[in-house]
Amino acid sequence: MAAPKTLFYDGFWKNNPIFVQVLGICSTLAVTNLLANTLFMCFGLVFSTAMSSLTISLLRNYIPDRIRMIVQVLIIATFVMMVDILIKATAPDIHRFIGPYVGLIITNCIIMGRAEAFAMQNPPGASFVDGIAMGLGYSMVLIFIAAIREPLGFGTLLGCKLPALHLWWHQWTIMVMAPGAFFMLGLLSWFARARLIPKGKG
């Protein structure tokens, strides 16, 4: 079994869920037009990935193989429901916008993928670390994209106006609309694959 540090590095960077495995793209694009939305989404995802990996790993010897998909989905849905209720209670304004996408964490392929590929074969501790690492790897990319899209599209960061806007800033509406998200992620993952991520798969 690999050391927690290696596990963490693998999940966070070397096998980054978005750049390398191309999982969880839907929510990456949808919630990254405002940084505040992104932060809530990331919190939800890290929590649900880590907790469902842990739970699935604990139960891995008891889950019958034939119905494992539905059992995994149920476990994941339980945690996502908790996150959904929590965000609704603490930040109702944000929930109004990202609500549907929080629900869609259930079908976020990162969680399913990790459950299937890692948690079903590994002990709870390692699965928990793996879940957190994957969640944070995903969050890093999301936060980065949001930190570019929000200033370009709205001229704000976390809702605060940026300094000296009139000198350099021109509203770039396309950045907060759908195509901007696709372009950003496409260019970013091109750059990451060509320059940053260590070789392993093409």
**Minimum distance of other proteins from residue 89's CB (angstroms):** 11
| Nearest one of 15, 8, 2, 18 to 201, comparing CA atoms | 15
Interaction residues for other proteins, span 101-160 (CB under 8 A)? 103-104, 106-109, 112
Interaction residues for other proteins, span 165-184 (CB under 8 A)? 174, 177-183
Give CA–CA dist 42/82, Å, rounded.
15
**Minimum distance of other proteins from residue 109's CB (angstroms):** 4
194 is a site residue for other proteins (CB under 8 A) = yes
DSSP conformational letter for 157: E
Give CA–CA dist 135/75, Å, rounded.
17
List, as one string, the DSSP characters of 37-56: HHHHHHHHHHHHHHHHHHHH
Contact of 11 with 130, CB cutoff 8 Å: yes
90 is a site residue for other proteins (CB under 8 A) = no
Give CA–CA dist 171/188, Å, rounded.
21
92 is a site residue for other proteins (CB under 8 A) = no
Interaction residues for other proteins, span 48-77 (CB under 8 A)? 69-70, 73-74, 77
The residues binding other proteins (CB under 8 A) are 22-27, 29-30, 69-70, 73-74, 77-78, 80-81, 84-85, 100, 103-104, 106-109, 112, 174, 177-183, 185-187, 189-195, 202
